[in-house]
Chain A
Amino acid sequence: MGSRVALAWALAVAFLAAPPLVAQRGRGQAPAVSPRAAAPVDLTGYWVSVVTEDWRWRMVTPAKGDYDSVPLNAAARRAADAWDPKQDEAAGEACRSYGAPAIMRVPGRIHITWDNDTTLHIDTEAGTQTRVLRFGPSPSAAPAGQGQAGEPTWQGQSVAQWELGGRGGGMFGMAQAKPSGALKVVTTRLRPGYLRKNGVPYSANAMLTEYFNALPPEENGDTWLVVTTVVSDPQFLNGRFITSSHFKKLPDGNAWHPTPCRSS
């Protein structure tokens, strides 16, 4: 009787141990892969923004007080109503509307390159800005100045990570789908600036979350990059400010023509 019980226990233990063994097959200790090598999509190259949305706020300088579509609170509206581009220019703040939360909406070409295996650069024609996207652990959502070093800048500190899709799951272990996904970038440590050229403000407490999506080529050969941008700012916004901007891939940088910041 005792041996039967022991046999039952042994079999139960063996079968319980089997699924983890199956699940681990082929995994082993994979060598570390750099973010550049692990990139599920290729974002590099020259891209031009195609302005089919928000034209009157992007292609010309909007009128003071024209802050439609942005979920501003009363303090932000007061700040926007006090916008003075000449004063910004005189104070050396002409780049206020070229900061990271706004720059992808500013019409122009962008150039995306790998600086090294863990760092992407985005150079912009408009305002001659450079964004530095470093792969690493996500920053906490702590307010600016807590646990982070360095002075706030127009482009802030950006931490990048690949959002990989199709990993599956479940008790039977869904099969691994083809790698896919987007680049997620979280930016903090921002110098206060404008969401729009006419002084619609964001504060130093703003946090920017972006998703860079490279779309499959279209039948006519066009390739599009879509950047979904989410700005959170407890000081000036009543809720998240969500926009998406689209860029068409260019064959080369022949038309590249950087221009300086302008306050109006």
Chain B
Amino acid sequence: MDRLRLGALAALAAALTMPLLAQQPPARDASAPQAPSASLVEYNDEVARTRTAGVDFTGEWAPRFHEDEPERVPGPELGDYLGIPINDAARMRATTWEASIQTLPEWQCRPHSADYIWRGPSPLRIWKEVDPVSRQVTAWHAEWLRSVDRQIYMDGRPHPSPNAPHTWAGFSTGKWDGDVLTIKTTHLKEGYVRRNGLPRSDRATLTEHWMLRGDILTSATIITDPVYLTEPFIRTTDYELDLHQWVPPYPCQVVEEVDRPAGRVPHSLPDTNSAVADFAHRCGIPVEATRGGAETMYPDFRLKLGDITSKCIAAQR
């Protein structure tokens, strides 16, 4: 009797749960565009979940200087433009540069721009801004030791008018390409692609691709500059997750570093700075190669160089 009763009750319970199963919404194409809900009342939980994509870059990231360490930590040498697709205008301007310009009060606390900062010697912190209702990531923030807080908007907003102010961080929007975060940045202030005077104009745009593989963050930065580059300039940089790291404050204070006449800006006149060839001579690399250009970044340039053994040893600088 008990068994019969129990069986009947189980059948009843199953009958009650079947409609619940039948009410499960049909599967949707995750890639199909979905209009976000305007209010909590209209909020569609499934929309939010299917729009969830990508990975979480949140964390403290330690730079690894296993590429270009001499350039990135102590700093590049004057006249080293190897492998950068610059044009003549960039080359000319770079040869007028003098390192002591960094001592000017206007330059001392200048942060690295969004495009260069990846190659700087700085720890990185990334965090996300989350909408409390939809729980969607509306922006990523990236901040290095010597940078401003950089925001990357994920809420689909458009870029502002070309006449809007240009800043060190520029204006960045992101979107997911699978688990790769692709970021477009415009409105950059004039900056540099290398810390030896190679300029980057304020008309340049930046594309980034962030990739998280294991505990390694790789960022590809691609700069397009109609003023100073003949081809897009790509670099890829790696950071390791380091939960013990802390980005310290950078309370930069302007001081009088050099006693010089007011208004004096350190520079060389075009084609007068013979020191720009010192790097080539010291390293045994042809001067023509050190002057850079797109040709120097492709493997076939080695045919033009011939068999060369460099004489450079960074530790002997």
Contact = CB atoms under 8 A, between A and B. Distances in A.
Interface string B283-308: 10100000000001111111001011
Contacts of B224: 220
A6 B313 contact: no
A60 B180 CA distance: 33
A69 B69 contact: yes
A94 to B, nearest CB: 14
Contacts of B300: 255
Contacts of B314: 66, 68
B35 interface: no
B198 to A, nearest CB: 12
Contact of A166 (B84, B178, B236): B178
Interface stretch (A114-122, A128-136, A237-245): A237-245
Interface in A57-100: 59-63, 65-66, 68-71
A184 interface: yes
B121 to A, nearest CB: 13
Contacts of A50: 234, 297-298
Given A53-B83, A56-B283, A40 B178 contact: yes
Interface stretch (B59-67, B125-133, B245-253): B59-67
Interface stretch (A13-21, A31-39, A138-146, A147-155): A13-21
B227 interface: no
A109 B236 contact: no
Interface residues of B, number: 76
Contacts of A17: 17
B297 A228 contact: no
A49 interface: yes
B67 A63 contact: no
A228 to B, nearest CB: 5
B240 interface: yes
Contact of B5 (A6, A22, A40): A6
A235 B209 CA distance: 34
Contact of A264 (B12, B178, B307): B307
B102 to A, nearest CB: 23
Interface string A1-36: 011001100110111011001100110000000000
A203 interface: no
Given A22-B21, A59-B305, A51 B234 contact: no
A243 B66 contact: yes
Nearest to B82: A55
A21 B299 contact: no
A253 interface: no
B110 interface: no
B209 A52 contact: no
B89 interface: no
B178 A70 contact: no
Interface of B: 2, 5-6, 9-10, 12-14, 16-17, 20-21, 24, 27-28, 30-31, 46, 49-50, 52-55, 64-70, 82-84, 177-180, 182, 207, 209, 211, 213-214, 216, 218, 220, 222, 224, 232-238, 240, 283, 285, 296-302, 305, 307-315
Ranked 9 nearest A-B pairs via Cβ: A180-B178, A165-B179, A107-B299, A14-B13, A69-B69, A244-B236, A211-B213, A55-B83, A55-B82
Given A216-B180, A242-B64, A242-B66, 12 more contacts: A14-B14, A15-B13, A22-B21, A53-B235, A63-B311, A66-B310, A165-B55, A177-B50, A178-B30, A179-B178, A218-B207, A226-B218
